[in-house]
Structure 1
Amino acid sequence: MALNNCKECKKEVSTNAKTCPYCGINNPGVIDSNRRIGIVVLVVMICLGIFAFTKHERADYHQSEKVEISENKVAAVAKVKQVVNSRQSLSAHSLLMETVAEEASKIPEQSVLETLPKLPVIQELPKQATLEQQDNAENIYSADTSQTMVMHMLEYALNADGLSHESVLQETKLQIENLAKPEKGNKKAARVINLKGLAALKEGDFNKAVELFEKANKLDASDVEIINNLGFSYLKKGDFNAAQQVIISALTLSPGRTTAWENLGEVFGKKGEVNKALACFSNAYRFSKDRLTLHQYMKGRNQKEDDKRLKQAREKAINWAEKIYLNGSKNIQQQESVRHDLAASKK
């Protein structure tokens, strides 16, 4: 016989007893099955609820922890980048300021001539170049620098005074004109110093003229007149190599500038390079907008010229221009007479 505690008084009774001998309750040894089941179900539900709640809470915690860690990482990386960039900026700024200071300290000691690249050697084209050679020569200058392109213009003019390369000369001139030019500076201040340089030239103080034109050029490197005046000052000073380099630099800004080609012709003439001088003079006539005035100037200069080689080159250019551009000496004399009469009537 099995014993169990009475469900009411909790004293031991038989599980088969119909009434408790102590308290008299019916079926004292049998526990209500529904009650037991309810208790079990309740316990299970409580456990499940606790588990679900803690699981959701843990998930939220881990998610928020991950977001916080991610945000912290992003903030940390951004801060590191900011620090690095600031240090780089400071370093770059410091380096830039040091470079500017260094370059600024060099400006008074540098001349325009020292900033120019070394010019290539000029070589004459063969007088009887084949069409293939000419085509190849035409294709070369397209990838060259502006100074080299100016040298090509001189090379083409060396061959029959450029008549066999007329179209190439004009095309090269246009290409140089389309290249990027130096930025404009303080033109007004530069021109004031330019006038002082011209006065020094007139007085024959060529060293002073060079100094003034260099200062003017530093104020406005885009002014071709100032650069050409500087080259002419070197020419008058007797520094022909410097004059050649600076005048060619002027032609990179204005490849059709007649005075620059004429000045370059004088440089080569003084150096004894008659053919190159003639080529420059022919380009001066070629690009001149007033060939008759240029012709009168060339004749006047040649009458006073003492250098035999320069005089020879200019004389050849004068005779060549009369045949090619000015339609003979008689026609020139008639044009000069008409111009003289017009000038006298205006007076």
Structure 2
Amino acid sequence: MILLTGGAGYIGSHIAVVLLDAGLDVVAVDNLSNSNSASLERIRAICGRSVIFRHADIRNEEAIYQILRAHDVTAVIHLAGLKAVGESTAQPITYYDNNVVGTMRLVSAMTRASVKTLVFSSSATVYGTPAYLPLDEKHPVAPINPYGRTKYFIEEILKDLHESDKDWRIAILRYFNPVGAHESGLIGEDPLDVPNNLLPIVAQVAIGRRPKVHVWGNDYDTPDGTGIRDFIHVVDLASGHLSALSQLRQPGLLTVNLGTGSGSSVMDVIQTFKEVSGRPVPYVIDQRRVGDVATCYADPTLAKNLLGWTSTRSLTQMCADHWHFQMKNPNGYRGA
């Protein structure tokens, strides 16, 4: 049995599908603070079987311990956490409490239950401003916002944990920019509030829920002046977790980027989305946001060599799958 924290969320629900399709059993834990349990209900329609759902917060160590014991959990994939960069700057203590303290209590519960296999959802934000590109795992780590620092601190805690007890099997996965949705259109990204990520905003503009996309700066040193990011299809990202889990058959600690190795600009995304949706996507150019970098994309070589994993889906596929989800769920899970 695999325990999946944050299992009702955008990435968590897609990982659940990948795990179930691989024949594994899954218990999903989520406090539903930024997710909807409807995503878990739809997994059965995709996979033909369900995940077990437990409504709990990772900061509740005793609750997590009881879940680990009750379901004979053998490994944990840990995604639960707050993830908005801007919000983290306004509410840093909330982020440290939820992300760092929550992880410490999760790991403490795992230790008590003798579960020592962990795949951790980290982020490319730990790198901060790129000193060189593409970003490989040897790039200096220097996060520039509280969200990125929570991921960095957790990485350091996990390294210390492994150093103190070599029986631990830990994979730290540094995500780049997950987008897209399951090809069925049944699960996808459905922010409860104003979206923080580009593609949900573009999709909501295309379907008429929002008037326009705000493009934050068009004077970067890039081909079209807008920022470039490494967008990765969420299903490719999810499969990387299964690959990491398979690699943890022996004790050890590994840190790996999950990205495509190429970047797309904001305008690339808008134009591609217009083409796949057949809808207009009006936008306005605004001033740059503080902290945004011009270009950021991964070197995914280590993931290929170590995990045997590589991304396969194009930006066109990412936009098409997201649009399919948006069309089937014009108001998200709440409108279903």
The question of a shared fold, defined as TM-score above 0.5 by the shorter chain, is answered with no
Greater RCO between the two (CA within 8 Å, min separation 6)?
2
Higher strand share: 2
Q: TM-score range by the shorter chain?
A: under 0.3
| TM-score (norm. length: structure 1) | 0.21
